[in-house]
Amino acid sequence: QVQLMESGGDSVQAGGSLTLSCTASRWSWSQMGWFRQAPGKQREGVAIVDDDGAPYYLDSVHGRFTISKDNAKHILWLQMAELQPEDTAIYYCAARRAGWVPPRSLLRRPEDFSDWGQGTQVTVSS
C-alpha cells in the first residue's frame, strides 16, 4: 500500500483560506479525492477529481473549495477559501488505483478508495 501524505492543515479565523497538499512516492491513481471527518460525525467527501481532471464538490463547499492535481509532480491540492467553523475537521486525501466510479457517487462512498493519508487538521474559529 502506497502512503499518501497530507500537509497544510492549520488554525485560521472564519473567512480565511488554506491550501492542503497530498503527495505520494508512487502516482498512478484513477480517481482521487478529499474527505473530512469532524468529531462525532461520519467521514464525508468534500471534493473528487476524476481521472480526466474534472472536479466534483460537496454542495456546501462548492464555490469555496477547489480541487486540482499535477500528475507530473505527484501532488493533489485542495484550495479552501471563505472557511467557516463548520469546515473544522481532519481532512484526508484518498485515491483509487483502478476502475471508474461515477465521481459524484464517490463523495458518498469512502469505501471505494483503496489508499488514504493519515489526515491533517483544519480548525476554523469564529
Which tens digit of pLDDT belongs to each residue from 5-38? 999 999 999 999 999 999 998 888 889 999 999 9
- What one-character DSSP code corresponds to residue 112? G
List Cβ neighbours of 4 (8 Å cut-off, separation of 6 or more): 22, 23, 24, 93, 94, 95, 115, 116, 117
Residues 6+ apart with CB under 8 A from 78: 19, 20, 22, 34, 46, 47, 65, 66, 67, 91
At residue 1, the pLDDT reads: 65
Q: Give per-residue pLDDT as tens, 46-89.
A: 999 999 999 999 999 999 999 999 999 999 999 999 999 999 99
Nearest Cα neighbor of 20 from 110, 122, 116 is: 122
* Cβ contact 32:96 at 8 Å: yes
